[in-house]
């Protein structure tokens, strides 16, 4: 068979593969549409709050605290201890002691540990460092936590490092040699992992099973859905990822085609093409609205966060410190937010009030881009290619509306404050 004939054969097999996959996914879509009125599959109360790293730590601490108003006493803490310690006898000994759970517990050097659980009079400590968005650690941060917990508990402690998929801290935070030195006193724990049963998601599923209060169980369900949305890319409550996996494993031919797709780096290639399409559309939008746009390197933000904004919009006559922006708070395209920069605090204060931005600092006011907060999942990229009835991209329509709203608010604020843009 010639090379050209082989290409045609592969193309036909891929067309058949995707046709079968699409037919199955269409059934999911139809079921969702039919039952959405009674089930509200995409509704989640946490979407109104968009919890950041600290808020997620507070939620975890709340459920681990047997004295909190969830009313379930030590049921959740028992599950947690049995999971991370894997020693039921030790769990029961710890549960018999007085217990306190504290967030933002400061070390001798003034560094806050996200969560510290104290048993007895420092008889045993569990420190939890939450890196849910994989934010970079500070120099020697995790090792300092370990030194502090060891000193305070006389060596009877566990430092748990929560990361998206159980990744270790960076070498600048704690070296491999130091991790080996800590031994069983240091463990990583994933929010989601394909390689282990234990994760924050599975832990909270166990919490849901034993919870006896309907209202608390409802919140646990929403929190689990929120974690699934953020840490299992492309997944949703109806289990489309599981269907796709089973479809790929259906027979040898499907597995062969799936492997060819996976090892072709198709995801990154498609996303780069979509981003180039975005750049072109944004340039056209900027020209039409007499804006000047600067577009950063989105691929770079997968691996480092150096303050570079992804998109900047400004106008002729604005000073260099005045512009509209959107960017990411963390690496891995997590926590997208947008806002307005200016060098005058009086302007930013009024702008925050007028637009109802969530936050203000010395150089800008901003809000999380709640509809598209995390870009390591599928939805933002799908909405780039999903067209509204007017033929325009669903994502770009949303983005442009926000930019124009901020622009109009900035011009109105400038008039009210008599401060130039």
Q: Which of 24-38, 82-96, 225-239 has the lowest mean pLDDT?
A: 225-239
Q: Answer for the pair 315, 322: CB distance below 8 angstroms, yes or no.
A: no
pLDDT at position 72: 97
Is residue 305 predicted with pLDDT exceeding 60?
no
Output phi, psi for 292, to 5 deg: -110, 120
Which DSSP string corresponds to 199-253? SHHHHHHHHHHH---HHHHHHHHHHHHHHHHHHSTT--TT-HHHHHHHHHTSSHH
Output the pTM of the full model: 0.67
Q: Which of 46-55, 173-182, 309-318, 359-368 has the lowest mean pLDDT?
A: 46-55
Instruction: Specify the residue for token string 């500070």.
Output: 138
pLDDT of res. 311: 85
Summarize pLDDT for 257-290 with one digit per residue, the tens: 777 776 666 677 787 888 888 888 889 999 999 9
**CA 334 to CA 199: how far, in whole Å?**
20
Higher local confidence (pLDDT), 288 or 228 = 288
Residue in the structure block whose two tokens are 């039919």: 34
Task: Give 192 or 107, the one with higher predicted confidence.
Answer: 107
Report d(CA 194, CA 82) in Å as an integer.
Answer: 21
pLDDT at 39: 74
Q: Report pLDDT digits (tens) over 1-14.
A: 677 877 777 788 87
What's the length of the chain?
421
* N-to-C CA span, the chain: 67
User: Distances in Å between the alpha carbon of 172 and those of 135, 169, 175, 177?
Assistant: 13, 8, 7, 12
The pLDDT value recorded for residue 329 is 73
How much is the mean pLDDT over the chain? 86
Q: What is the pLDDT of residue 11?
A: 80
Tens digit of pLDDT for each residue in 350-391?
999 999 988 888 888 988 887 787 777 677 888 888 888 888
Q: What is the pLDDT of residue 336?
A: 83
Of 361, 302, 370, nearest in space to 338 by CA: 370
Residue written as token pair 């990583």: 188
Output Rg (C-alpha) for the chain, integer angstroms. 25
Q: Contact, 139 vs 173, CB < 8 A?
A: yes
CA angle 171, 173, 177 (to 5 degrees): 55
> Does the structure show a pLDDT above 70 at 61?
yes
Question: What's the pLDDT at 411?
Answer: 94
- Average pLDDT of span 9-21: 80
pLDDT at residue 238 is higher than 60: no
CA distance 357 to 353: 7
Res. 139: pLDDT tops 70: yes
Per-residue tokens: 196: 């282990």
Q: Which pLDDT belongs to residue 134?
A: 66
Identify which has the larger pLDDT, 164 or 115.
115
Q: What is the DSSP string of 306-354?
A: SS--SEEEE-TT--TT-EEEEEEEETTTEEEEEEEE-S-HHHHHHHHHH
Q: How many Å apart are CA 144 and CA 360, to the nearest integer?
A: 31
CA distance 312 to 326: 7
307 against 101, higher pLDDT: 101
Mean pLDDT is highest, among 193-197, 213-217, 360-364, 378-382, for 213-217
Chain centre to alpha carbon of residue 413: 33
> Phi and psi dihedrals of 339, rounded to 5?
180, -160
* Torsion of Cα atoms, 384 then 389 then 392 then 396, to 10°: -50
pLDDT at 28 over 80: no
Q: How far apart are CA 366 and CA 337, in angstroms?
A: 7
Task: Provide the 8-state DSSP code for 46.
Answer: G
Distance of CA 234 to the CA centre of its chain: 13
The pLDDT score that the predictor gives to residue 243 is: 73
CB atoms under 10 Å from CB of 70, counted, come to: 20
Phi-psi region of 162 (alpha: psi -120 to 50; beta: other; left: phi over 0): beta
* Nearest-angstrom CA–CA distance, 339 and 359: 9
> What secondary structure letter does DSSP report for 130?
E
pLDDT of residue 124: 98
Coil, helix or strand at residue 99? strand
Percent of the chain with pLDDT over 90: 48
Comparing 110-119, 294-303, 312-321, which segment has the lowest mean pLDDT?
294-303
């Amino acid at each position: 068979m010639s090379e050209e004939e082989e290409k045609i054969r592969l193309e036909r097999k891929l067309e058949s593969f995707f046709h079968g996959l699409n037919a199955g996914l269409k059934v999911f879509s139809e079921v969702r549409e039919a039952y959405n009125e009674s089930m509200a599959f995409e509704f989640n109360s946490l979407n109104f709050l968009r919890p950041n790293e600290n808020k997620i730590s507070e939620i975890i601490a709340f459920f681990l605290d047997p004295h909190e108003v969830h009313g379930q006493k030590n049921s959740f803490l028992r599950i947690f201890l049995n999971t991370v310690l894997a020693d039921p006898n030790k769990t029961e000994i710890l549960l018999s002691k007085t217990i306190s759970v504290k967030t933002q517990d400061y070390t001798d050097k003034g560094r806050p540990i996200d969560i510290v659980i104290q048993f007895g009079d420092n008889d045993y400590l569990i420190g939890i460092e939450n890196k849910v968005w994989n934010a970079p650690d500070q120099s020697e941060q995790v090792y300092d936590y370990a030194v502090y917990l060891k000193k305070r508990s006389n060596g009877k402690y566990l430092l748990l490092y929560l990361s998206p998929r159980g990744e270790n801290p960076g070498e600048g935070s704690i070296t491999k040699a130091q991790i080996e030195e800590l031994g069983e006193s240091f463990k990583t724990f994933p929010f989601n992992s394909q390689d282990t049963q234990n994760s924050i998601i599975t832990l909270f599923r166990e919490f849901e099973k034993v919870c006896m209060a309907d209202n608390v169980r409802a919140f646990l369900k929403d929190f689990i859905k929120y974690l699934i949305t953020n840490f299992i890319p492309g997944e949703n409550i109806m289990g489309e990822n599981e269907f796709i996996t089973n479809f790929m494993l259906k027979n040898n031919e499907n597995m062969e085609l799936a492997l060819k797709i996976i090892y072709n780096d198709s995801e990154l290639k498609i996303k780069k093409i979509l981003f180039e399409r975005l750049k072109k559309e944004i340039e056209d939008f900027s020209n039409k609205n007499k804006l000047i746009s600067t577009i950063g390197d989105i691929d770079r933000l997968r691996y480092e966060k150096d303050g570079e904004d992804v998109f900047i919009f400004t106008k002729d006559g604005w000073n260099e410190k005045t512009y509209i922006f959107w960017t990411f708070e963390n690496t891995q395209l997590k926590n997208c937010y947008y806002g307005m920069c200016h060098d005058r605090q009086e302007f930013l204060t009024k702008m925050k009030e007028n637009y109802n931005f969530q936050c203000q600092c010395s150089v800008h006011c901003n809000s999380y881009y709640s509809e598209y907060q995390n870009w390591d999942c599928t939805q933002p990229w799908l909405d780039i290619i999903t067209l509204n009835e007017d033929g325009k991209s669903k994502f770009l329509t949303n983005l442009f509306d926000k930019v124009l709203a901020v622009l109009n608010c900035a011009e109105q604020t400038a008039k009210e404050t008599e401060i130039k843009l």
